[in-house]
Amino acid sequence: KQEVTQIPAALSVPEGENLVLNCSFTDSAIYNLQWFRQDPGKGLTSLLLIQSSQREQTSGRLNASLDKSSGRSTLYIAASQPGDSATYLCAANYGQNFVFGPGTRLSVLP
């Protein structure tokens, strides 16, 4: 069964810290992996997409890495800000079958 897990479930950090969110998937035969941000009661906003042939993608203060063989992806957030507070979800794409992780709820304290 294809499953995606995320660690930690929740994280609280002071403003300015660098932090890492983890995503693990049981089936390494992914087409790509996508990271999303979700604000309370809202839809998902795409942050980064990494193709299975790529090792990492960067957008501003965000960097996502992918180790397909070990079934892991990480989202690195540099110099965190209170506006980064949200839930972060990863989704593994198995050919139009998208499997979501449960998310990491991030709070950045001013």
Partner 1 sequence: SAVISQKPSRDICQRGTSLTIQCQVDSQVTMMFWYRQQPGQSLTLIATANQGSEATYESGFVIDKFPISRPNLTFSTLTVSNMSPEDSSIYLCSVAEHNEKLFFGSGTQLSVL
Residue from the set 11, 13, 19, 44 that interacts with partner 1 by CB under 8 A: 44
Beta bridge partners of 100: 91
Residue from the set 13, 31, 54, 71 that interacts with partner 1 by CB under 8 A: 31
Nearer to partner 1, 95 or 110 (CB): 95
Number of residues that bind partner 1 (CB under 8 A): 20
Of 15-23, 57-65, 71-79, 91-99: span binding partner 1 (CB under 8 A): 91-99
Residue type at 7 in one-letter notation: I
